[in-house]
Amino acid sequence: MTKPLFNLATPVLRLLLLLSMGSFWMAAESAEPLVFTLRIKDHLFIPAELLVPANTRFRLRIVNEDATAEEFESASLNREKVIMGRSEGIIHLGPLAPGEYSFFGEFNPRTALGRLIVNETDHD
Amino acid sequence: MIDAVVIVLREVLEAMLVCCVLLASSYALGAKRIWLLPVTLFAVGGALLYATNLTALTDLFDGRGQELTNVLLLMLTGASLLFYLAQLPGVITQKTSGVTPALYASLIVASAAAMVRELAEIFIYIFSYGIASGQTAPVVSGAVIGAGVGVSLGIFIFFGLLWLGKRRCLQVSAVLLSLIGAGMMSQATRFLVQSGFLPGEHIVWDSSWLISESSLTGELLHALLGYDATPGIEQLAVYFASLLIAILLLRKLSVNQSLDVDSLRH
């Protein structure tokens, strides 16, 4: 029984090493992160179209002003996060190629629709 | 109500798949206890705890608490599935009857961690969205239907696997568990990218035009293979690393070795 356990331990250790490398990489990031804010109000995203710069790392702050929970979800951005009622959450994004990335609120999939418009010229 | 059915069904799918494949595999090994029932009750408690504390949890670790909890639960499932697979060849060749405590431990941890994550999202949807917004009737009835469809599908897969016979059931479920486990590890990696722990700069492909992640096919492939329409390079690396470990662990289970699985159960 010991041998398979050992086989399992090595990749787990490697993964931990990779994670610690990741956190060093994170610490090397700029101290002042770029933040864009998206609000949820009456089960809608405001603004429904958010302009963000291309090829830049940024954070998306999602503020839920409703009393009810919502789940921010986007297949093209590869992100999902539950935002409880009257609370907020942060998602790390980018660098994104120019284009449009749609997102939606999972609990209101027909109405809570929005797009991230990634624009090359928006970059300063 | 249709929305509620779909939302709950897609949450149920993944955990259901883990649980029913593990259940079938353990019964093929000769498990005699109804181990999934207490685990489910425990997971309901865990999920309620998770769901009721999510606001505070989200704010932990500089706003990364929710992602890190997901990473923990997904990796716990993925690792205990691998631990289960690691023990399979040994248990079968030793011909000891049934399930060792270590096997039970991996069964319990894998299914509990998978259920806590999915059940918490269902509870949040029902209580913090449905009931909180006054849509109690459509949300609750939709959730019951969605959960019912998911559980029925699970029962169908469970009996389908057992119907294959013990030996085939063990082989097929081992392959399924390897794939599901790799998918869980890939999802954990995605949450590490989402919380900024990994760069996630390179998207390897975009197959959303072919199979959308939110389509039924996409959801099924997601639960079964960890399908992602736009996977990052880290996700793919972790996925295939996990799959490779599973293959290495399972190579003793290959068909050409004459394992007398049928003599397992007295």
Calculate how close chain B gets to A101, using CA atoms only, in Å. 12
ipTM over 0.85: yes
Average pLDDT rounded to a whole number, residues A52-59: 94
**Most A CBs within 10 Å: which of B14, B55, B100, B214, as the mutation test of the A interface?**
B55
A2-32: burial string, b at 16+ Cβ within 10 Å, e else: eebeeebeebeeebeebeeebeeeeeeeeee
Q: Report if residue B265 sits inside a domain.
A: no
Residues of B in contact with A2 (CB under 8 A): none
**Confidence (pLDDT) at A6:** 52
A24 vs B71: CA distance, rounded Å: 19
Is any Cβ of chain A less than 8 angstroms from the Cβ of B213?
yes
Q: Report if residue B225 sits inside a domain.
A: yes
The minimal CB distance from A75 to the residues B102, B192, B208 is found for: B208
What's at B92, amino acid-wise? I
- Domain boundaries A35-119, CATH class: mainly beta
**Confidence (pLDDT) at B172:** 95
pLDDT category of residue A32 using cuts at 50, 70 and 90? confident
- The fraction of chain A above a pLDDT of 70, given in percent, is 72
Residues of A in contact with B238 (CB under 8 A): 15
Residues of B in contact with A79 (CB under 8 A): 194
Q: Search chain A and give the residue with CA nearest B192.
A: A19
Q: Report if residue B7 sits inside a domain.
A: yes
Average pLDDT rounded to a whole number, residues B141-166: 96
CA distances, A117 to each of A95, B67, B85, B188, B244 (Å) = 13, 25, 45, 27, 38
**Confidence (pLDDT) at B215:** 85
Calculate how close chain A gets to B35, using CA atoms only, in Å. 23
Give the up-direction half-sphere exposure of residue B253: CA atoms within 13 A in the CB hemisphere: 24
pLDDT at A107 exceeding the cut of 80: yes
pLDDT at B176 exceeding the cut of 60: yes
Query: Which residues neighbour B122 within 8 Å (Cβ) at sequence distance 6 or greater?
Result: B8, B11, B12, B47, B143, B147
**Most A CBs within 10 Å: which of B2, B3, B194, B253, as the mutation test of the A interface?**
B194
Q: Search chain B and give the residue with CA nearest A56.
A: B201
Q: Which is higher by pLDDT, B108 or B258?
A: B108
**Confidence (pLDDT) at A10:** 67
pLDDT category of residue A2 using cuts at 50, 70 and 90? very low
Q: 3-class SS at B133?
A: coil
**Which residue range(s) make up the domain with B20?**
2-255
pLDDT category of residue A95 using cuts at 50, 70 and 90? very high
Q: Report if residue B180 sits inside a domain.
A: yes
**pTM of the shown model:** 0.87
**Confidence (pLDDT) at A36:** 97
Q: Report if residue B235 sits inside a domain.
A: yes
pLDDT at A1 exceeding the cut of 50: no
Average pLDDT rounded to a whole number, residues B215-231: 90
Tokens 């931990």 found at: A16
Each domain of chain A, given as residue ranges in start order, spans: 1-31, 35-119
- Torsion sign (Cα): B83, B86, B92, B94: negative
Q: Do A107 and B125 touch (CB under 8 A)?
A: yes
**Most A CBs within 10 Å: which of B57, B83, B129, B191, as the mutation test of the A interface?**
B129
B18 vs B20: CA distance, rounded Å: 6
Q: Do A15 and B128 touch (CB under 8 A)?
A: no
For chain B, what is the domain count?
A: 1
Q: Report if residue B44 sits inside a domain.
A: yes
pLDDT at B193 exceeding the cut of 90: yes
A49-53 and A113-119: which strand pairing? parallel
Q: Report if residue B164 sits inside a domain.
A: yes
pLDDT category of residue B189 using cuts at 50, 70 and 90? very high
pLDDT at A42 exceeding the cut of 60: yes
**Confidence (pLDDT) at B261:** 53
B64 vs A91: CA distance, rounded Å: 8
pLDDT category of residue B99 using cuts at 50, 70 and 90? confident
Q: Report if residue B266 sits inside a domain.
A: no
